[in-house]
Structure 1
């Protein structure tokens, strides 16, 4: 086995030692004063040869001769760590290898960079793959004498981390050693690891080409959505292009204006100019240039720019992942699993520009927890004192059954033992899951006093592995796919809110879900559409902290809570597949739309396919508003579609407890009263106009129009047809329970989402009074208005 590494000037090769050939050479090296830390200066050639033969005959050790530019220059000895290091000193992991290095005394003047080139070659040899001529190990272990300052410095340059100083027995004497380790990542990030063939950049997605692609995508989206919300008003040019000018900067582009003032901009046509000179597209610069029109408060513009920067980084990361082959194409999604589809999504909320803010996440956090990376993770569990915690359970669910669903028997047993070992009575505590980020950044700091008092007891990570869903706080159980979803608090700033969970809301969440589920299950129209809800069956919140006693509520009251939601996995039958509805608005990195791919794979006409989708999605939502004064939050992440033969057969609605509202005066149980938000008919209609027409169908219509499957006007005729069919089936409900809702009105109030985030990126709306927080931009022509 050999390995070759080329530095700027020196070529390093490593080959197995030959005791007969190399003993005399090595004996001269060991006898030199520079090799004193090897403690072998008194050996003669025969003794060195015998030593090397012992090494060569030991399957768990290895001796290697190193050459630099063809000349023998160093000796490397490798070993399994447990052969030299006692288990009470170092517990080896799979992939570890120990290493000793002896560099020959210089024959003449020292060569600049010689020792560095040797160390670099040795590390590549230990960590490189077999194809690279290496040993394929994942971590190198060394234990140099603490007095050997030159080798300690060189180890540091190679990325070694000192675990501590230990006493080791070697050759009959005790050596004080600096026990150190170096992983592949440590070496790749070190000065000597730079340029290693096996190295990846620590930020591989933040390259000029990927950033340029992300900037163009976001600039196009900004121009389109800000025009849609009438924050900017493009003016037509003589050549068929449009212009947006601010100060000395102008943007020009080609676009088609579709119903609902949807600007379908050709990405390749967008140009940014100053004084006739073309500039690079930069979405951050665009926001600063347009700030006078956008009305972002000066004190918040930097926060918005940070959210937008995070969105930019996420977009670049998603493209990098796709180009690396880690994300399926639209064609590949046809047979992808439900978790694979979730991880493949690229857009998030299609109307929001800064839709992946995640302020608080480091790059490592993004890599580990961002839904688009599809990583497996384990939740962290704490025990919370019952006197300060409220566990709410849905109808028919008791605590024992809830815990059996939420945790395995091994987890329940281990957590009880850990509580008992810490001197606590397990019966005095509820079990609460935390996001790993929350457990690291909030539990030991924000709630230090509660931990110290023993009101919160850290128990450890779950046995089950989970995958973050698009809503980032929600996790799908991968180990037990039928187990409930878990939604946890996550105190990062994302898309206009700190993403916590309110313990106060958690008290009523299961009861609200039971009431909504009963309403849906007992209604023939919902059943005929195949519409069902995924109930949030259990919820928990901790309120023993000092933040719950401050005069004014704050986001700190929303940092320790969780809920468990039914999984859709056990609810589908043979031949059915699950897919997030957000996938219908997804284009892959090659530009192919998943919706278009589905329609073509189904063998149905676009009209027939769309009718099936509208029957499963639009019809039940319209019935909720008109037949029950019940409004859901039906964006792409909140619905899970059931596909049969690549056609939408039915849908599951989720996120019920926090995002459902009763808009009329109908009677409600006391524990459900929190969701009442009475509104006049025009505002009730916005539950369809804003959340469905503008938030989802506008974007789907543009995709099918652009791909040549269905012109936008024909798309909206089918939407009108769906409404007509509902009216024909329910003439008594065509205008709602109070007769004041008109979904075929000529226009409706144009409620704008980006305006909310631009006004206050820290809290877009008052969750207790969302209707009064909304911002409007006049009236929007209704694409399904009666003619």
Structure 2
């Protein structure tokens, strides 16, 4: 927006009296303002050296500009502050802030106090925010902004506190200005609702629901349609029902019909390879037959859809409500994501690309990486109920959900050493590990707090826990352990972390080069209680060492740039009574943590990081991140896809057919390294819990638990199910829908990647496509078993699979035609 919009005086009443705001008159006000700027309290304005005539010239320049203005504020007639307003799309932030319509930048200078009055700055900030956010009117209104933008120096703690009291939220840090006027700024925004609900505001805006502003009819309508479309697509993909072509008069050529008991769904959809459906959410119509009155239109409701599908889905009656609760939570988070996308809290795809493009240096690259991480709105691409998070309250959601992008501090416990196991990678030591993860001040404070209780710090190890876990589990479920001093709360750590999509993994925002922390989080999400097993954690560093050594010493993987993020340390507490019960239980997985390497130190100049899940992301406008990357790269789509497959698929094929080694390579577990929008290499994470050796090759005894011997056809599913069906069918659908690359050519390039690996490894190639120990693994077979994920969750919403025997837990629905198969003529169903 432009400023000023009015020359009238704005008047408002505060706790200290009447405050007016009027345009600055440079000739009249320059001497006054110069005195304020020269005072030490105004040091962050960096204008103390200006003379009166220079201040006059500066103010005249501001007033003459079409996109900025300066204002004088008076309390009961006496001048007490100056404020500047500007359009951030044109002034100061034009190249670094994705401005929205209604954005208004603001600076504030409060006069040095002659006779200090308690609450003066609060009253001034209140008046200025009202001035900015009140609608303009002919007889003297405000500036009509919908969102106020500020960019204070990060070192100015006083204004940071005042901004927080006015409802401002820090979006990110950035560098502004040049030379002597350069500063590291905290880009912050406050909407009308933010200010109204703040300590300086007047309470919730009329008609708003502060506690759940996202739960509106419009947001929920969008969420229901999106989730219903996903359910119709993914459940049809898993052959739980088969829609029929809609033969009604006037039905579109790509129309389909699903008739249930008394209810009919009609919608448009396109079908791609691997029986992949893309359903248009806006097209869905739900009708019920009403006798002589014909069909009656019903609201599209994802919960009702599942209830209507219950005879086909066969969810156990005792678990149906749990599944519906996970769906309800998924709907709620979808509505919240929608709200944040529309109000600009979540960057658009273009905003994400801009942040990546303009990042300079490691810290900026880490910032852009985490912006992408928090912008993901879909969750798992295959699961319908994928954002359950049962156990989170609304405030928990806002504090800890990955898509909120909020920062948090881990809480630290001292865990008695005799009941606690710390496992370390071969190149780690206890002293070195804690010395890197905790500052000297933190370690000293923790030791002092233990000593103050008469406890010897040498008897304890330090265990990080999620704040939610402390409040809801440790202080209650483990109350006895805390009371007897086996677990001692020490307080929050200094570093701030950002939750990742996997929700219990945290990225260090204070020191991005330091390790991720993964902690137990006893909420129910997507078919599992998200705990962390101390028993599993014992072998985690050793497993990671073994995998990392294999990857590092393999010339093919090194040539492809493939690497892993080692989990270098793990800790688990077992002194509780739950570890002494006859049967294993979920309570044994509530006090453990691990530390994983960060990818940030591995970045070369010009490289950027993104979660691979971003390739399946569409923003609120429908723009696909993958499509935007292809276009941003400036190279042909086939060339772009080939680079991605070389970085992602090729190494996975090599690991499988050469070592019978399989990962869990879904979007959350891969980090892609990009340069100019092109994938250069892939980094695998989540090794300890997800990696598996599918054959009987020798393994060190300490990591024998990762072995699961299966036949060759099931080995191939590590690629067919987890890569083809779990990732590539979705990406292929996006690129085809957007007209970027047809699916036939997409899958031909996939086949070429597999064949190229065989051709480049002739010494181990055998007929049928197998290599190395995996002699019978045929990734170009005509068909493969159709392993179904939603069927697992529908069968048991509390624990989809037995983690000790995952192979036996799988559910199949026949076979799928392999779109990368070697059959002479492949027929693609559409």
TM-score with structure 1 length normalisation? 0.78
Alignment of 1:12-411 (within 5 A): 15=18, 188=197, 196=205, 201-238=210-247, 239=251, 240=253, 241-275=255-289, 276-336=295-355, 337-411=368-442
Residues 561-611 of structure 1: CA deviation (Å, up to 9, x unaligned): 000000000011001000000000000111000100000111111100000
Structure 1 position 95, deviation (Å): 7.4
Q: Which has the larger radius of gyration?
A: 1
Change (3 A) 1:94 1:494: farther
Question: Are the aligned partners of 2:656 and 2:774 in contact in 1 as well (CA < 8 Å)?
Answer: no
**Separation in 2, partners of 1:138, 1:419:** 34
**Separation in 2, partners of 1:310, 1:95:** 41
Q: Which runs of 5+ in 2 are unaligned?
A: 1-9, 21-74, 81-112, 135-140, 143-158, 167-192, 290-294, 356-367, 824-830
Question: Are the aligned partners of 2:16 and 2:119 in contact in 1 as well (CA < 8 Å)?
Answer: no
**Separation in 1, partners of 2:207, 2:11:** 16
SS of residue paired to 2:495: coil
**Separation in 2, partners of 1:664, 1:491:** 33
Which one of 565, 585, 593 corresponds to residue 534 of structure 1?
565
SS of residue paired to 1:642: strand
Matching residue of 2:737: 706
**Separation in 1, partners of 2:504, 2:297:** 42
CA RMSD, Structure 1 to Structure 2 (Å): 3.0
Moved more, 235-244 or 131-140: 131-140
Structure 1 position 463, deviation (Å): 0.5
Q: Which runs of 5+ in 1 are unaligned?
A: 6-11, 18-54, 61-79, 85-91, 99-122, 141-183
Residues 260-311 of structure 1: CA deviation (Å, up to 9, x unaligned): 0001222222111112122111100000000110010111111111111111
Question: Are the aligned partners of 2:224 and 2:331 in contact in 1 as well (CA < 8 Å)?
Answer: yes
**Separation in 1, partners of 2:132, 2:11:** 10
Matching residue of 1:442: 473
Question: Are the aligned partners of 2:17 and 2:76 in contact in 1 as well (CA < 8 Å)?
Answer: no
Matching residue of 1:40: none
Find out whether 1:544 has 2:575 as its counterpart: yes
Question: Are the aligned partners of 2:323 and 2:794 in contact in 1 as well (CA < 8 Å)?
Answer: yes
Question: Are the aligned partners of 1:95 and 1:138 in contact in 2 as well (CA < 8 Å)?
Answer: no
Which one of 770, 787, 802 corresponds to residue 735 of structure 1?
770
Count residues in correspondence: 649
**Separation in 2, partners of 1:427, 1:4:** 60
SS of residue paired to 1:650: strand
Find out whether 1:503 has 2:543 as its counterpart: no
Question: Are the aligned partners of 1:405 and 1:484 in contact in 2 as well (CA < 8 Å)?
Answer: no
Matching residue of 1:489: 520
SS of residue paired to 1:465: strand
**Separation in 2, partners of 1:256, 1:707:** 13
SS of residue paired to 1:464: strand
**Separation in 2, partners of 1:747, 1:716:** 14
Structure 1 position 334, deviation (Å): 1.6
Structure 1 position 741, deviation (Å): 1.0
**Separation in 2, partners of 1:352, 1:137:** 41
Structure 1 position 322, deviation (Å): 0.9
Residues 521-540 of structure 1: CA deviation (Å, up to 9, x unaligned): 11111111110000000000
**Separation in 1, partners of 2:706, 2:344:** 44
Which one of 445, 453, 468 corresponds to residue 422 of structure 1?
453
**Separation in 1, partners of 2:682, 2:195:** 47
Matching residue of 2:618: 587
Moved more, 201-210 or 588-597: 201-210
Which one of 5, 12, 21 corresponds to residue 3 of structure 1?
12
Residues 699-733 of structure 1: CA deviation (Å, up to 9, x unaligned): 00000000001111111111011111111112424
**Separation in 2, partners of 1:664, 1:13:** 77
Residues 541-579 of structure 1: CA deviation (Å, up to 9, x unaligned): 000000000111111000000000000000110010000
Matching residue of 1:749: 785
**Separation in 1, partners of 2:668, 2:707:** 23
Matching residue of 2:40: none
Residues 649-685 of structure 1: CA deviation (Å, up to 9, x unaligned): 0010000000000000000001110100011001100
SS of residue paired to 1:335: helix
Question: Are the aligned partners of 2:419 and 2:573 in contact in 1 as well (CA < 8 Å)?
Answer: yes
**Separation in 2, partners of 1:56, 1:280:** 56
Residues 156-200 of structure 1: CA deviation (Å, up to 9, x unaligned): xxxxxxxxxxxxxxxxxxxxxxxxxxxx9898599x966646976
Structure 1 position 738, deviation (Å): 4.1
Structure 1 position 15, deviation (Å): 3.0
Matching residue of 1:24: none
Change (3 A) 1:253 1:185: closer
Structure 1 position 245, deviation (Å): 1.2
Matching residue of 1:615: 646
**Separation in 1, partners of 2:471, 2:129:** 31
Which one of 589, 599, 610 corresponds to residue 630 of structure 2?
599
**Separation in 2, partners of 1:185, 1:704:** 38
Moved more, 469-478 or 333-342: 333-342
**Separation in 2, partners of 1:623, 1:13:** 72
Residues 116-142 of structure 1: CA deviation (Å, up to 9, x unaligned): xxxxxxx987995776599989879xx
**Separation in 1, partners of 2:121, 2:406:** 22
TM-score with structure 2 length normalisation? 0.74
Matching residue of 1:73: none
Matching residue of 2:544: 513
Residues 453-495 of structure 1: CA deviation (Å, up to 9, x unaligned): 0000000011111100111000110111100000000000000
**Separation in 1, partners of 2:222, 2:816:** 32
**Separation in 1, partners of 2:671, 2:320:** 35
Matching residue of 1:785: 821
Find out whether 1:627 has 2:658 as its counterpart: yes
**Separation in 2, partners of 1:341, 1:185:** 24
**Separation in 1, partners of 2:165, 2:668:** 41
